[in-house]
């Protein structure tokens, strides 16, 4: 009986630590405050041709450890496989690059799900089973939504200074 109690205490401690983490692990608080609540898209802007941006953003994604699941250079779409972004959260990116007036837009939405370890911890604590459902990251929706969205903001900040949120 005692090992079971220790295991549950350990798992509860992990869950509380994960939930209490902040987006400051990804972006500064001043940046976090400038994002409109409810945003689901991070949009970057650059003054280069879409083909150039496509290749540069693809390189950035790959250097950040993402694996590409879908790539279509004709319609300028990149989708990634899931990647562990920390705090027992996995994320995948959906990227669309297009010309808009005189600039190129890099439009990124992020889907997230709890990691297998987080799902296991939940099932041990609750006594039931759980399944992973992908959800679109939404700013200030709490917990892992914010972490996944902040991870995407950080990625975009490494690519351009001109960023908007929808």
* Rounded Cα gap, residues 67 and 119, in angstroms: 23
* Domain spans, the chain: 41-165
> In the CATH hierarchy, which top-level class contains the domain 41-165?
alpha beta
pLDDT at residue 16, rounded to an integer: 42
DSSP string, 28-41: -HHHHHTSPTT--E
Inter-residue contact 97 to 105 (CB < 8 Å): yes
Mean pLDDT by groups of 10 residues along the chain of 166 residues: 50 45 80 95 98 98 98 98 93 97 97 84 72 88 90 97 97
For tokens 């879908």, name the residue: 70
User: Does the global pTM surpass 0.85?
Assistant: no
First to last CA, the chain: 51
DSSP string, 59-87: HHHHHTT--EEEEETTTTEEEE--EEEET
pLDDT at residue 5, rounded to an integer: 52
């Amino acid at each position: 009986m005692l090992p079971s109690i220790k295991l549950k205490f350990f798992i509860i401690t992990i869950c509380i630590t994960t939930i209490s983490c902040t987006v400051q692990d990804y972006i500064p608080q001043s940046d976090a405050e400038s994002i409109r609540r409810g945003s689901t898209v991070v949009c970057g802007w650059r003054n280069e041709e879409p083909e150039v941006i496509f290749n540069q953003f693809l390189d950035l994604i790959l250097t950040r450890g993402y694996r590409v699941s879908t790539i279509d250079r004709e319609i300028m779409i990149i989708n990634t496989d899931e990647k562990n972004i920390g705090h027992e959260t996995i994320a995948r990116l959906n990227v669309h690059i297009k010309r808009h007036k005189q600039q190129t837009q890099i439009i990124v939405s992020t889907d997230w799900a709890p990691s297998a370890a987080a799902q296991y911890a939940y099932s041990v604590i609750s006594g039931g089973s759980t399944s992973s459902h992908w959800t679109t990251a939404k700013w200030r929706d709490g917990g892992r939504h914010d972490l996944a969205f902040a991870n995407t903001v950080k990625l975009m900040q490494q690519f351009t200074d001109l960023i908007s949120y929808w």
